[in-house]
Amino acid sequence: MSSLVNPGFRRPEGAAMPGMHGGSSGERELQEQYGTQDRAQRFYDDQMLDRLNPTMIDFIGRMDMAFIATADKNGECDSSFRAGPPGFLHVIDEHTIAYPEYRGNGVMASLGNILENAHVGILLLDFVRDLIGLHINGSAHIVADHALRNVVSDLPVNHKGRVAEHWVVVRVEEAYIHCRKHIPHLVPAPREQREWGTDNVRAKGGDYFGAKAEKNELAESLLSGS
pLDDT digits (tens, 9 = 90+) for 180-218: 999 999 998 886 666 655 666 666 667 777 888 888 888
Q: Is residue 29 part of a domain?
A: no
Q: Is residue 78 part of a domain?
A: yes
> CB–CB of 216/161 below 8 Å?
no
CA 5 to the chain's CA centroid: 17
Q: Is residue 206 part of a domain?
A: no
Closest CA to 16 of 37, 44, 43: 44
Q: Which of 4-8, 28-32, 177-181, 202-206 has the lowest mean pLDDT?
A: 202-206
Q: Is residue 159 part of a domain?
A: yes
Q: Is residue 214 part of a domain?
A: no
Please state, in angstroms and rounded to a whole number, the distance separating the CA atoms of residues 47 and 143.
31
Q: Is residue 165 part of a domain?
A: yes
**Any idea what the CATH number is for the domain that residue 104 is in?**
2.30.110.10
Please state, in angstroms and rounded to a whole number, the distance separating the CA atoms of residues 63 and 162.
17
Task: Provide DSSP, 135-161.
Answer: EEEEEEEEEEHHHHHHH-TTPPPPBTT
Q: What percent of the chain has pLDDT over 70?
A: 85
Q: What average pLDDT does this structure show over 66-71?
A: 98
pLDDT digits (tens, 9 = 90+) for 84-111: 889 999 999 999 999 999 877 788 999 9
Confidence of residue 15 (pLDDT cuts 50, 70, 90): very low
Strand partners, 44: none
- What is the reported pLDDT for 21? 56
Closest CA to 5 of 175, 165, 167, 116: 167
Please state the domain count of the chain.
Answer: 1
Q: Is residue 82 part of a domain?
A: yes
Burial class (CB in 10 A: 0-12, 13-18, 19+), 17: exposed
Q: Which domain holds residue 160?
A: 34-178
Please state, in angstroms and rounded to a whole number, the distance separating the CA atoms of residues 66 and 176.
15
Question: Is residue 126 left, alpha or beta, with left meaning phi > 0 and alpha meaning psi from -120 to 50?
Answer: beta
Q: Is residue 191 part of a domain?
A: no
Strand partners, 136: 122, 175
